[in-house]
Amino acid sequence: MMTDYKKYVGAFEESFEVDEEQAVNLTYQSIEAWDSIGHMNLVASLEDNFDIMMDTDDIIDFDSFNKGIELLKKYDINIEK
Q: Residues in the site for other proteins, rule: CB under 8 A?
A: 15-17, 28, 32-33, 35-41, 43-44, 55-56, 59-61
User: CB of residue 73 vs other proteins: minimum separation in angstroms?
Assistant: 20
Question: 8: how many CB neighbours lie within 10 A of its CB?
Answer: 23
Shorter beta-carbon distance to other proteins: residue 44 or 77: 44
> Are 23 and 16 spatial neighbours (Cβ–Cβ below 8 Å)?
yes
Q: Which is nearer to other proteins, 5 or 13 (CB)?
A: 13
CB of 1 to other proteins, least distance (A): 28
Pick 5 or 67: Cβ nearer other proteins? 67
**Beta bridge partners of residue 64, listed in sequence order:** 27
On whether the CB atoms of residues 54 and 46 are closer than 8 A, the answer is yes
Between CA 14 and CA 28 the distance in angstroms is 16
Distance in Å, CB of 81 to other proteins, minimum: 27
Dihedrals phi, psi of 64, to nearest 5 degrees: -160, 165
